[in-house]
Amino acid sequence: MWEDDPFGGMEQQALEELSEAVREEDASQAWSTPGVLSQVIGQVSCAVAERRCSGLWLIDTTQLEGWERQQGAGAFDGFMGRLFEAVERAKGERDVVCLEGEGGDTVVVFVMGDAFLGEREMARLSTELLGGFERGQMVMEQALERVALGSAMVLPNASVDPRRQVYRAIRRARGEAQEAYHDQQRRRSRVVGHLIAQRKIRTLYQPVVRLKDRRVEGYEALSRADGGEAQRLGVHLFVAASRAELEGELDQACRMLSVERRPPIGEEGRLFLNCLPPTFYASNPELKALLQGWGESGMRPEQLVFEVTEQITYEQFVRIMPTVRTLREEGYRFALDDVGTGAANLRLLAELEPDYIKMDLELTRGIARSERKRALAHYLQELAIRSGAELIAEGIETFDDLEVLESLGVALGQGYLLGEPREASAWWETMGEALLSDDA
């Protein structure tokens, strides 16, 4: 916790309690959790002996250990619940699903029938399992990146105890999963490096809309892997880059491309740029070049908004603040990103003096159905007003949620309901259509 909290320790505590209540609510959703191996081993071993079980596939999430320490047990349980739901959609009707052990992190699916678990079938399963997750939340992407999938056949052998056949098959499947995981990491590293070097990065722009009159305030630049490379990565571009230790290089490339390719923002619009903390370290030549190009293209400083994530360490906070203060004095604007379901830090809010506070999409989604989320959003709205900032609600996808946000007085919003992320050319075409309509 930062020292000398300018909003007062009681306010910090109240905000943390609200955030924790929302996290607990999200984690307590009713997930359909399977039993454990010890409960189904008799049924499965009989099926093996009777040649009704042809093999198994296994989902190894042991790599999530570090992720769980950082995000908490509730986040882990929520992720596993979504994984169980995905397994139910992907498995066969007669297949048997279980956890390897009580409180474990390995899911086993026994295939009842003559299905052959070849490479093509495993690729299909991987796509169905991981592709069914809701994208866009970086924390979830970071978890997906750590999931490994393996399989093993169970061949009939009357001279071997069917129980031991099952346990040995599980060991083989886990070994295959780990080997496939490390091979995948190496492939991802090469793909990310190639994307950065060749600038094969899609730049999309999502409108930030003023809720009162639906006027576009500006656009947030979003970067994605280009073409078939996205499928080869299987996870968000920045998640893959982080594992490949190329996050900084990717961040710089995306930022430059976002400015170069920007849509029509006019004389009053804003361009919102996501930035990792090292962007603002002293004497960063990339930042200087970006700002020089921004000015030379006729854009004003106040039209550029740097988004700084709330997930920042104290050491990073100390290093970036001199540059942040200088940029603020020059007229550039700042947004504090990902605020809501994490423990918002009021000292960071006070020191950064953001023009915008961006409410995390997990807080926005389902706010019409959650009293706790509404209470937290109301609190953030009050903080925004007191700190001279405007609140932006991300992830608006339903009219019910939009209505609640408007009733709370939230100034700005983002989400598929208000406008999908599109390439700059599409926004230029939209502007042209609007001009033609006005002329008519």
Residue extents of the structural domains in the chain: 27-191, 199-439
Give DSSP secondary structure letters for 141-210.
Answer: HHHHTT-EEEEEE----TTS-HHHHHHHHHHHHHHHHHHHHHHHHHHHHHHHHHHHHHT-EEEEEEEEEE
What is d(CA 104, CA 116) in angstroms, rounded to the nearest whole number?
27
Mean of the per-residue pLDDT values for the chain?
Answer: 85
Tokens of 41: 């081993």
275 confidence band (pLDDT: 50, 70, 90): very high
* CATH architecture of structural domain 199-439: Alpha-Beta Barrel (3.20)
**428 or 277, higher pLDDT:** 277
- Which residues in 79-163 belong to E strands, given as ranges? 96-99, 106-112, 148-153
- Residue 228 predicted with pLDDT over 80: no
Domain 27-191 has CATH 3.10.129.10: no
- Residue 270, classed as helix, strand or coil, is strand
pLDDT in tens, 26-51: 655 545 667 899 999 999 999 999 98
Average pLDDT over residues 166-195: 91
122 confidence band (pLDDT: 50, 70, 90): confident
Whether the CB-CB separation of 188 and 244 falls below 8 Å is answered with yes
CB atoms closer than 10 angstroms to residue 116 = 11
What is d(CA 34, CA 86) in angstroms, rounded to the nearest whole number?
12
What is d(CA 429, CA 426) in angstroms, rounded to the nearest whole number?
5
Strand order in the sheet with 96-99: 35-36, 96-99, 106-112, 53-60, 148-153
Query: Across the chain, how many H-helices and E-strands are there?
Result: 17, 13
With a CB cutoff of 8 Å and minimum separation 6, the contacts of 309 are 274, 276, 337, 338
pLDDT in tens, 309-329: 867 888 888 899 999 999 999
Residue 428, pLDDT score: 82
Tokens of 214: 């639906």
